Amino acid sequence: MLYPTDKLGEVIKTSRLKMGLTHDQLAEKIGISPRYLMSIEHEGKKPSYDVLFQLVRYLTINANDIFFPESIVDTNEERKLLEQMIKLCDKHEITVISATAQALLTKNSR
């Protein structure tokens, strides 16, 4: 029987790649070794609660994607990912994102 946590590595890898992060970059951000991260993604290694928490928060993974993967419905995933990433931004990063969005919207309205 395939348990939902068997999808953990796949969910983490997909989220990491969507954010454009390498193993090294993500591992550094959450304080683990790149090798440990690779073993989670590719070898089915189960992370500790603390590491899982860091991964879920940093990658903005919906916990349902891990524990209830059969219920995943693709409803504008790019928008949801963007909204989740914005929640992790500081004030300066929000200003940059806002200016970029404004420039894109202005360009598209011409």
For 47, the domain range is 1-72
pLDDT for residue 73: 54
Q: CA-CA distance, 52 to 12, in Å (whole number)?
A: 10
For residue 108, give both structure tokens: 């598209």
Number of domains in the chain: 2
CATH of the domain at 14: 1.10.260.40
Backbone angles phi, psi at 70, to 5 degrees: -70, -15
Residues 68, 20 share a domain? yes
Give the tokens for residue 56. 């879920």
Contact between 22 and 28 (Cβ < 8 Å):
no
Q: Which amino acid is at 100?
A: T
What average pLDDT values come out for the chain (110 residues) when binned by 10 residues? 64 93 96 97 93 94 78 66 87 94 78
pTM over 0.85: no
pLDDT at residue 3, as a whole number: 42
CB atoms within 10 A of CB 23: 18
Residue 66 has a pLDDT of 81
